Every structure is written in C-alpha cells, then in structure tokens.
Copies of this chain bind each other. A is one copy, B any other.
Amino acid sequence: MYVRCYGCPLRAKPAFHDKTQEEIAVIDQMKSDHLRVAAGTEFIHPEQTDAELYTLFSGWAFRYKELADGRRQILNFSLPGDLIGLQAALLDKSLYGAVALTDAELCVVPRRRLFKLFEHTPNAAYEVTWLGAREEALVDENLLTAGRRNALERVAALIAALYKRAEQLDLVREATMDFPLTQQHIADALGLSLVHTNKTLARLRAQGLFRIADGRLTLLNPRAIARLAQYFEKEPARRPII
C-alpha cells in the first residue's frame, strides 16, 4: 500500500529534523510512487539516463561501480532515510548502479520535479544538497578506508561506521543489529578479495571484537574496534530527510 508523507513513521524518528505540515505537503506532492523491490533488484542502472531520485524508506541498498572486466566496487551502503540517486538525477546519466540489498521500499521523486523543488521550497532544496554532501562524506571515508587502511582496519572501519548509522536510526538492540551483507559485499566495499575478507573476518573473530551470525551483527568491543579502525567520526545528532 502507498505511504503518504503525512504521518510517515520513518520521518517521525528522532534522527531526523522536524518539518512543518506545509513542508511535508510539498514533499508529499513531489513523491510520485512508493516502490517495493525484492532483495537484489537493481533500481538504478549504470549509464541510465532517466534515473529517478529515491529516498530509502525501509531496508538496505548500495551503490556500486564496476570496471569493464567485471571487477566491482561498492561505493556506499544506504540505510532508511538516505537519499539515493541525486548524482544520477542531476548529471546526464548515472555513473553507478544502485541495488537493493534486502527487500526494500523506496519513495520515488521524479527527476523532472527536482528543479521545481529548488524553485518553490528553498528549504527542501537546501536539505537535498545537504544530503548530497553527506553522501559524499561517506564516500570520502570509504576512499580513505580503501586507500590507506589494511585489511583488518578496513573491516573494523566498515563495522564501526555501519553500527553508528544503525544506532542513530534506533536499529540497535542490546548491541545487536541486522546485518544483511554477505562476505562478498564486504569484500566489494573494502577493495579486498573474497577469500582474504573471509580470513580477515576469521582473525577478527578470534579477537572477539564482534560477532556476525544469522544476518545479525553484535558489537562486543566498540572501543577496540574504533581504535583498530582509527575511526572516530560522529553521526550528526539530527539530519534532514526528504
């Protein structure tokens, strides 16, 4: 069933900025569809020229690029509330693909309506830009990870970052969160081979920093993970959502 922006349960979370009824009305008008996609669905294709703009309503997704010979790099993961496809909507064509990692729901904003947003609701336009800047910040951090951290540190940094984001969305209970990534996803995100990722996870497991089982992640020693990863960034207390 369709979800209107009025009374949106995601928007109501304390992680997000409050909006007036008028602002929500504008966004509700911009929204053209509420999509449900199965895990594995690619909803933005590389080279696609007419990609829409999405807000992830539920589930996980990721963006990726790949080389002609098939080597794939995951650029970042998206959690509920994240905007996906701003780049694809603004530039002539999408330079990446976007895939649902789990079954997911997507709020669709047609790319053609984006400029209207800038014309009529500067506040919302500012927030779109803010979300774009934040996404870039995530990719910046991922580039630091791929370029300068070793395998152990990379895994720790990924775990630490995803945990913080889940925490902010109130998706953590008893230090445990859903964790739908396979080792192949982790490898593709960190610039490692699958086998080496597996062995790195085994080494970390032996250290007892965290536990991954049955699609769930439990953080056993957050301090040690942060120290190993040298990852100390904070999520902002509250952020926009479109």
Contact = CB atoms under 8 A, between A and B. Distances in A.
A68 B129 contact: no
Interface string A83-98: 0001100111001100
Contacts of A122: 115, 118-119, 122, 125
Contact of A95 (B67, B137, B149): B137
A148 interface: yes
Contacts of A197: none
Interface of A: 63, 65-69, 71-73, 75, 86-87, 90-92, 95-96, 115, 118-119, 122-123, 125-126, 128-130, 132-137, 139-144, 146-149, 190-191, 230, 232-233, 236
Contact of A87 (B65, B73, B115, B136): B136
Given A115-B126, A230-B68, A236-B91, A146 B149 contact: no
A132 B127 CA distance: 13
A140 B85 CA distance: 13
- Top 10 nearest A-B pairs (CB, nearest first) are A147-B191, A118-B122, A146-B147, A136-B136, A73-B147, A87-B133, A71-B148, A146-B146, A90-B133, A73-B144
